[in-house]
């Protein structure tokens, strides 16, 4: 009984480790810039929050230079 349990446990973890080898995560480096632009846009304004299009325009202008 114990041997079957340990075998099942081992196979469960082995399959998960093998599955993680095939996963590749690509992170868009521009997400940091979007976060910075949004933080700067909302930092000093408590009464009027900008819409996403207003800071996305600044983001595009920055990267089009």
User: 45: domain range?
Assistant: 2-63
Domain count across the chain: 1
pTM equals 0.28
Residue 5 has pLDDT above 70, yes or no: yes
Per-residue pLDDT at 54? 67
Nearest of 48, 44, 41 to residue 56 by alpha carbon: 41
pLDDT digits (tens, 9 = 90+) for 30-52: 777 777 777 777 766 656 666 66
Mean pLDDT estimate for the chain: 73
47-58: average pLDDT: 66
Per-residue pLDDT band at 26 (split at 50, 70, 90): confident
């Amino acid at each position: 009984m114990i041997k079957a349990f340990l075998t099942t446990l081992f196979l469960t973890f082995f399959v998960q480790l093998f599955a993680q080898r095939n996963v590749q995560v690509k992170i868009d480096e521009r997400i940091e810039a979007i976060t910075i632009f949004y933080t700067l846009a909302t930092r000093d304004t408590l009464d009027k929050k900008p819409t996403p299009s207003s800071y996305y325009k600044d983001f595009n202008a920055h990267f089009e230079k």
